A and B are shown apart, each in its own frame.
Chain A
């Protein structure tokens, strides 16, 4: 979805390096998510944020940190990258409304290779 952008789209880094993946959205959604996708493992939630002041760990947050700089921006950092963090990373936003369902909208993904 063009309303959710991720940079960079591809990144090669070395073990031990710190890297940041950025996500921006123009959908005006409060909720944002970071997932990683690995073959055969589906999507796994790393961190999520329900608003600028609310950040929560997902199921696989170890080795990652996030920053919600504004409603529109949600960054994912790998403080010291390791090879098993090689994966496809997706950012998503959702149009949550209390008492109703929500739909998640995904960015194009960042393919990360850690050597």
Chain B
């Protein structure tokens, strides 16, 4: 079965530290990849997505992610985090084959940024 693994369940950083959150998936075919963010008390918002083309994807609020097909990975990065980045981050994957596809979600990574 397809799965998405987020290695870090809880991350604590100080402001200005660099961030990298890991995401690996198990599907071997063509995939669409997503990172969503959920700020405290809010709904999920799309941070960035990869469908095709340049494997380095830039999203909102200074986030970026790199799709490495050979490693089945789509890690999220930010060079300098802010207190306002405190949130839960979800990686999701859908395989780009057929019409009956759904998103497979990782369990999420909780990020706390200390001021």
Contact = CB atoms under 8 A, between A and B. Distances in A.
A25 to B, nearest CB: 13
B29 to A, nearest CB: 13
Interface string A15-26: 000000000000
Contact of A90 (B44, B99, B100): B44
Contacts of B100: 50
A51 B42 CA distance: 27
A100 B102 contact: no
Nearest to A42: B107
B61 interface: no
A104 interface: yes
Interface in A92-111: 92, 96, 98, 100-109
Contacts of A101: 32, 49, 51, 94, 96
A41 B107 CA distance: 6
Interface of B: 9, 32, 34, 36, 42-46, 49, 51, 90, 92, 94, 96, 99-100, 102-103, 105-108
